[in-house]
Amino acid sequence: MEVADPSRAPPEYKDVAWIADTCKLLMGIGWTTNYVGMIYKSLKDETYAMALMALCCNFAWELTYALIYPFGSDLEIEWGHSPLVLRNLPLIFIICVSGFMSGHVALAAQVGPSLAQAWSAYGCQLLLSVGGLCQLLCRGHSRGASYFLWFSRFFGSLVLVPQDILRYKYWRADHEYMGSPLYIWFVCIFLLLDGSYGICLCCTGSVV
């Protein structure tokens, strides 16, 4: 889903649209690679590769913008330290997905689905970054994580920054928010969190 209809883009933006489109294509490749890698790493290490809250938030985002606004388990081992979570994992997942989805729907109703899907995706990204970093620090080891997963996720999001810069410069009328303090804060925090994740991953001695 686009925040603005591409057919409304000014002529000066259309001259550089191919760069923005390439960035979006690279984003898709990066994140698809990351998801495939997470599945592989989860099966290999017999653990989850994404923090639970981040998974719920992202799943809720997917449901919101796919349905409402269309455009053999080793958990017993992994959650042995938290019997409450282990016993209620399906309920926690349902409640969290419902809660995050209601938040996505509320934001879409407040500012419109086109703009809301962008802002809520930024929120998903930050929660994923925070969740992944906390997960790595709490575990003290790199099971469920790898440089491949980190880089594909980091790269998949980072390549959207040049696209956003081009849209703000050449198509500002429909992308004014990309110059807002909140958006700039998001980019800076994203770079800080995911950069820190890479450093922490190195300290834990992760393998590819």
Return averaged pLDDT per consecutive 10 residues of the chain, 208 residues in all.
Answer: 78 92 92 91 86 88 76 57 78 89 95 92 93 89 88 93 94 93 96 94 75
The residues near 85 (Cβ < 8 Å, ≥ 6 apart) are 79, 92
Evaluate whether residue 208 is within a structural domain: no
- State the CB neighbour count (10 A cutoff) for residue 31: 15
| Cβ contact 60:97 at 8 Å | yes
pLDDT at 70: 67
Nearest to 125 by CA among 178, 187, 182, 175: 187
Evaluate whether residue 103 is within a structural domain: yes
Number of separate domains in the chain: 1
Evaluate whether residue 19 is within a structural domain: yes
Give the structural domain span for 102.
10-203
Evaluate whether residue 1 is within a structural domain: no
Q: How many residues make up the chain in this entry? A: 208
pTM of the full structure: 0.70
Evaluate whether residue 2 is within a structural domain: no
Nearest to 17 by CA among 147, 169, 196, 201: 169
pLDDT at 1: 57
- Rounded CA-CA distance 113/106 in Å is 10
Evaluate whether residue 83 is within a structural domain: yes
- State the CB neighbour count (10 A cutoff) for residue 58: 18
Q: What is the DSSP letter of 4?
A: S
pLDDT at 165: 94
Q: For the chain, how big is the Rg over CA atoms in Å?
A: 18
Evaluate whether residue 138 is within a structural domain: yes
Structure tokens at 119: 């802002």
Evaluate whether residue 184 is within a structural domain: yes
